Structure 1
Amino acid sequence: MSRGDEMPYRREHLFIGGDWQKSSAPGAIRVISPFTETPVGEAPDTAECDVDAAVDAARHALTASPWAAWDAETRAAAIDRFADALERRAEQTALLVTAEMGMPISVSGAVEGPGPAQTLRYFAQLARTTPQEERRPAAHGSGTTVVRREPVGVVAVVVPWNFPQSLTMFKAAPALAAGCTVVVKPAPETVLDAFQLADAAQEAGLPDGVVNIVTGGRETGAYLVGHPGVDKVAFTGSTEAGRAIGEVCGRLLRPATLELGGKSAAIVLDDADLARAVRGLAWACLLNSGQTCYTSSRILAPRHRYAEVVDAVADLAASMRVGDPADPATRVGPLASARQRDRVESYIAAGQAAGARVVTGGARPSGFERGWFVEPTVFAGVDNSAAIAREEIFGPVLVVIPYDGIGQAVEIANDSPYGLAGTVWTSDEDKGLEIARRMRTGTVGVNFYNIDLGAPFGGVKASGLGRELGPEGLASYVDLKSVYLRR
């Protein structure tokens, strides 16, 4: 998509109960391109009665549709058909996500296009191999206990704008594999691509009400989270919003999986091959223009190599091409909204006011009359107590912090309110693994970072509660029932 082009994409109905239904809300949600600042398309807003209808449809699908009675193999086959239908839309979906929120097509084409189908297939296979029941001999005396895995019920899936398709499926795929039904509420900034899921669900022949799509902002999300017909909430977003959701779910005694913010550390050891490390840091630190929850935005460098690391990271940031997100050569696109750009710029200004040194970036790139761009920015001379080192910025802003000795590096990495991810860069993988064991965080990459569908993903401290992906992710969507048998 070249500058000045528009990509009109209009949806006029909500997807509820397996059908397209007119919204009861009077307004529409307009999505604005962060590159051209012109409309991409619009979708209907949602009234509370529409949310009621979606939750009712999901409840009905649990109790009265074939979904409730299907065995794991039949359900998995339906999920595989859903994956096939999404895969046929992968290219269009990737382009749509890029148009909506500015994700470089090199990322959306690899992640947002094929990723959801891959996640569905993983959990479909896991459903096939996970027994619904197991028999255990009584621990004391005679008898047997049958332990059953039963779907938790109706799941509210509330997702952000930064990886809208992938993060939706991190929740919906295990929920569906467990036999649950879902009501998906996308972010307003990326509301359009959510309807790709609806089209695919309909094409795949999923029973009516198994997947429902509603729209809206925070008010709609809050209403859905607190709805009496919802049995579990799965949310990715800010820690502030996660705390509010956690309070509601705690009061209602409703389980919640909360994947929240991060301020992850990349520990560069003194034996690191810096050229190799920098290539990996491009993905770990600046993916999606820094709008990634697991970003290693704090780079910890040994003091005797500090200047060398600062220069290498600055060269990396300066080399990343900024521009049209639909251009495959672009590595850094615009930020998702004007509000997000303002937030990032306020942190850059605060870092400079506190005495940190901008090594590269720090401004809006030249040559762009429109678009919510911020240059990839690297700060040096930063203490870990500074706001730019402690608070999640969610943009292309990195800080390089010196340390003396491995013990201090781990101490600095752990000195954060967050604990979602981290990386270690070293020529000795065993040493990297040993340091990873000492980091207080949910995930760590040694000499790279990537999320594995087969392993649990999530954080500790202010980075959230619970885990997504892997067998642990599937387990979070089942209730366990013990049936005692006397022999």
Structure 2
Amino acid sequence: MSEIIEYRKLFIGGRWVEPAGHDTIEVISPVTEQVVARVPHAAPADVDAAVAVAREAFDHGPWPRMPLAGRIAVVTRIKDAIAARHQELAELVTLQNGSPMLFSVRGQALSTVGAFAVALSVAETFQEEHERQGVGGPVLVRREPVGVVAAVTPWNVPAMTVAAKLAPALLAGCTVVLKPSPETPLDAYWLAERCAEAGLPEGVLSVLPAGRETGAHLVGHPDIDKVAFTGSVAAGKAIMTAAAANLTRISLELGGKSAAIILEGADLATAVKSIVAGTCGANSGQACVALTRVLVPASRYDEVAGALTAAFGALKVGDPSDPATVVGPLVTKAQQTRNLDYIRIGQEEGAKVLTGGGVPEGRKTGWFVEPTLFGEVTNDMRIAREEIFGPVVCLIRYESEDEAVALANDSEFGLSGAVFTADVEHGTAIARRVRTGTITVNGFRLDLAAPFGGYKNSGIGREFGPEGLAAYFEYKTVNLPAPTNA
């Protein structure tokens, strides 16, 4: 076994400092079930220290007052450092959460680079203020940084979700207190090191790995101006409640139960390839955007079921460090148990396992679950309504396109989706009817240049693109004197 990675200090305001307490977080490999790293567990007192530093840096430090070009230069150095060492980042993420290396390189590390690159591209043409004509005279409309940001990120795509918040927050001139998931703190520390090397000023960034109690103290802190969160619906609701006490601004990117609608004339090979990529191929199914409900015309049900059964059954499951592996382990024993419980529930509800349905044969160590496809699913079943967060997919019949749209919309979620069609114009018309934040025609895509977020219980607000940068500003109106007629 390789040497255990160990951090003994917290990164607070750009300095490595002793934690207030003595608790530690052990990072467990989902493959070997052995400890691979230890980091300090931040306490509420560490939150107070980090927020105080961030508050001082925002209220009196150089970062918010620096010309935008100066912030762009620093963030560009951060982006370039991540790009130069992206393989290192990918390996670190795989070590923590078992993400297959194929996905870790593209969906974890390079997407992190991409999130920084897109935010920089937007910032380069960003207008901090402009003058317009008001009713009573000219007005100056300014966009000013929202303030101290609490960024709370999940374990499934840890570095990319950090980048989605950190890049626009920094470019806007905010200061950030980052709380990564206790399952995956190493990439956040790694990113902190890159930020320090790039010359990020003192006080601008802190990293506090911790669990729920410390996280609750952070999001409810009166000196936090905005909370940016990615995670579960239950946690999002708790954060919204805590933020309400201080009227803290929030953005929430939450869960999904997205539908892939296969229309009558759709090319099956395209649909199957995209559905595999958007389910089991997306971090072993641990993706909020996963296409976990596949809506199929009754006339093509057997054809689609056969093709997807064969595709799922052929996926390589195993060691995530193997470049050929498509499906790795789930992040924790609890996640494995959750998935297996839902597979049992689905069978009890009357759904039929077409392939998978358990732990891969011979896997006595590691938190693996077979790619599992359910047939004979109806939209009222729990497996069709609740987010499972693993390689478990449901096939649902429909009789008409109107029924397909109704089924897609019959969900408390609205994050992602897809439409597969022989007629792109018609598929786009169907996509317009589905109440979801992102939907792809003939594919599966999360575009970092476009707004990303959800309807309904899938969240509030948007990340990425111009909308993602705008989320870290407040608007100010300066009424200017009306011209005099001399």
TM-score range with shorter-chain normalisation? over 0.9
1:390 deviates by 0.3
- The residue that corresponds to 2:225 in the other structure is 231
Deviations 1:193-250 (A, max 9, x none): 1101110011001001111101110111111000111100000000011011111122
Q: Structure 2: which amino acid aligns with 1:211?
A: L
Distance in 2 separating the partners of 1:433 and 1:6: 51
Aligned match for 1:337, one of 328, 332, 336: 332
Secondary structure at 1:242 match in 2? helix
- The residue that corresponds to 2:65 in the other structure is 69
Distance in 1 separating the partners of 2:37 and 2:84: 22
The question of 1:458 aligning with 2:453 is answered yes
- The residue that corresponds to 1:442 in the other structure is 437
Question: What are the ranges of 5 or more consecutive residues in structure 2 without an aligned counterpart?
Answer: none
8 Å CA contact 1:42, 1:192 repeated in 2: no
1:7 deviates by 5.4
Superposed, 1:78-477 pairs within 5 Å as 78-138=74-134, 140-141=135-136, 143-286=137-280, 287-477=282-472
The question of 1:18 aligning with 2:14 is answered yes
Distance in 1 separating the partners of 2:428 and 2:145: 36
1:375 deviates by 0.3
Secondary structure at 2:278 match in 1? helix
Deviations 1:100-123 (A, max 9, x none): 111000011112222222222221
Deviates more, 1:275-284 or 1:234-243: 275-284
Deviations 1:405-452 (A, max 9, x none): 110000100000100011011121111101000001111011112111
Structure 1 outlier segments of 4+, above 3 Å: none
Secondary structure at 1:336 match in 2? coil
- TM-score calculated relative to the size of structure 1: 0.97
Distance in 2 separating the partners of 1:288 and 1:124: 26
8 Å CA contact 2:64, 2:145 repeated in 1: no
8 Å CA contact 2:118, 2:464 repeated in 1: no
Secondary structure at 2:63 match in 1? helix
Distance in 2 separating the partners of 1:220 and 1:411: 41
8 Å CA contact 2:64, 2:172 repeated in 1: no
Distance in 1 separating the partners of 2:13 and 2:415: 36
Deviations 1:83-131 (A, max 9, x none): 1222233111110110111100001111222222222222123222111
Distance in 2 separating the partners of 1:54 and 1:115: 28
8 Å CA contact 2:419, 2:442 repeated in 1: yes
Question: What are the ranges of 5 or more consecutive residues in structure 1 without an aligned counterpart?
Answer: none
- The residue that corresponds to 1:30 in the other structure is 26
Q: How many residues were matched structurally? A: 481
Distance in 2 separating the partners of 1:111 and 1:416: 26
Tell me how large the CA RMSD over aligned residues is.
Answer: 1.0
The question of 1:43 aligning with 2:39 is answered yes
Distance in 2 separating the partners of 1:335 and 1:133: 47
8 Å CA contact 1:89, 1:113 repeated in 2: no
Instruction: Provide the identity percentage.
Output: 49
- TM-score calculated relative to the size of structure 2: 0.97
